[in-house]
Copies of this chain bind each other. A is one copy, B any other.
Amino acid sequence: MYRFEPNLRIPGPTHLPPSVREAGGRQMINHRGPEFAALLARIDRRMRVFFGTQQEVLLITAAGTGGLEAAIVNALSPADRVLAVPTGAFGDRFAKIASVYGADVTRLETEWGRAADPAALRAHLAADADYRAVLLTHNETSTGVTNPIAALAAVVRELAPEALILVDGVSALGAVPFAMDAWGLDVVVTGSQKAWMAAPGMSMIALSERAWLAADEARMPRFYFDLRDARKTAANGQTPWTPAVAVMYQVDAGLELMEAETPAGVFARHAACAAATRAGLEALGFRLLAEPAFASNTVTAAWIPEDLDWKAFNGEVKARQLVLAGGQGKLKGKIFRVGHLGAVNLDDILGAIGVLEEVARMFSRPTEPGAAVAAAQRAVLAAVEARPAAAEGVPA
């Protein structure tokens, strides 16, 4: 059956709502003028709510990876001892950036698909806590696992109180509760093309007071990503270099929608879409990668069954305009991923599960018509009932 628009189910760039698309087509303004200053201030103010911080949220014209590099080079000096806690390809990338800039990186490994374990971190730090920084990934996009940042950070604060906690929050911040200040985090990074419903091109970053002090002493070379310049110019309503103005228009429009929906509404919508995705995929016989207790509310990874010709299967899926993501790093060719973040509604998920049902039938896989979609719908009801109470420091 012909479909008029693709169902873009990758974990970013995400589908743009109408008002965000309109914002992307706006005329340019002077990035040294008052209209721009108001835009910058508005994004900062609204972003703080989702970061859970009273610090200012600064903008960098770069992909999320550029934001991660900014986190590293502003906090650290060459030869600093750094503990990386990778749980997938993006955790590896964060560690690699630190190594490239000369940090002395120790890795606390976690099996891909599992969350970083606070007890393992405790054991490691009990033996060796002499670190300048700990690198954590909030949501590991490559595996669909959301790490327990609050618990991990609490262990660091207890056993390595001087260590800076740098968090890759690129692919879930804005979609799930987060509390930078309450959890004692020092640097948090996110990206415009994820929960924020905008095109890629901007990275948002916030630093604790402690991190700002560290930035003054850090000796890794930096120019474009020097956040001291970003902070100084932000005080005058500007950015140090010409920013991606149209992406800022879009982030601003996305935040307006998120404010209207309320953070609690945004979080509940993501939780429901995630529950529907997981249940639908399982009903289709796919085995999920992520440890269930830490399954991500923004992206779900599933194993490709050994007896399935994925290329042919995904070809039929693509022909129906459903766009899925593949695996990354050592999971390439072994898993596929379904993005459910940003401007996602249950309709999109039920539609995607419907397409997968249809294609599964073509490949003679067990599929009672409607069963997977029904499972997805049932999971939503369960998710709504299980909705947790608000936690301390988390926006509601």
Tell me the A residues contacting B by CB distance below 8 Å: 5-6, 8, 10, 12-16, 21-33, 61-66, 69, 96-97, 100-102, 191, 193, 199-201, 220-225, 240-247, 250, 323, 325-326
**Which B residues touch A65, using CB under 8 A?**
223-224, 240-242
**Which B residues touch A96, using CB under 8 A?**
223
**Which B residues touch A244, using CB under 8 A?**
61, 63, 199-201, 244, 247
By the criterion CB–CB under 8 Å, are A12 and B242 in contact? yes
By the criterion CB–CB under 8 Å, are A224 and B27 in contact? no
**Which B residues touch A246, using CB under 8 A?**
24, 199-201, 246-247, 250
Closest CB-CB distance, A315 to chain B, in whole Å? Answer: 12
By the criterion CB–CB under 8 Å, are B13 and A245 in contact? yes
By the criterion CB–CB under 8 Å, are A21 and B25 in contact? yes
Closest CB-CB distance, A39 to chain B, in whole Å? Answer: 13
**Which B residues touch A26, using CB under 8 A?**
21, 24
* A201 partner, pick from B32, B247, B326, beta carbons under 8 A: B247
Report the copy number of this chain in the oligomer: 2
By the criterion CB–CB under 8 Å, are B64 and A100 in contact? no
A243 to B33, alpha carbons, bound, how many Å? 27
Closest CB-CB distance, A3 to chain B, in whole Å? Answer: 13
Closest CB-CB distance, A193 to chain B, in whole Å? Answer: 6
By the criterion CB–CB under 8 Å, are A13 and B200 in contact? no
By the criterion CB–CB under 8 Å, are A28 and B193 in contact? yes
By the criterion CB–CB under 8 Å, are A221 and B323 in contact? no
By the criterion CB–CB under 8 Å, are B323 and A69 in contact? no
A24 to B64, alpha carbons, bound, how many Å? 20
Which residue of chain B is the closest to A60 with respect to CB atoms? B62
By the criterion CB–CB under 8 Å, are B323 and A100 in contact? no
Q: Identify which of A5, A33, A101, A241 gathers the most chain B CB atoms within 10 Å of its CB.
A: A241
By the criterion CB–CB under 8 Å, are A245 and B5 in contact? no
Known: A65-B224, A246-B201. A21 touches B30 (CB 8 A): no
Q: What would 4 more interface pairs be, CB under 8 Å, given A15-B27, A24-B24?
A: A193-B242, A200-B242, A200-B244, A220-B221
Known: A25-B22, A27-B16, A224-B65. A32 touches B325 (CB 8 A): yes
By the criterion CB–CB under 8 Å, are B62 and A224 in contact? yes
**Which B residues touch A97, using CB under 8 A?**
223-224
A193 to B27, alpha carbons, bound, how many Å? 12
Known: A15-B28, A221-B101, A246-B246. A241 touches B201 (CB 8 A): no
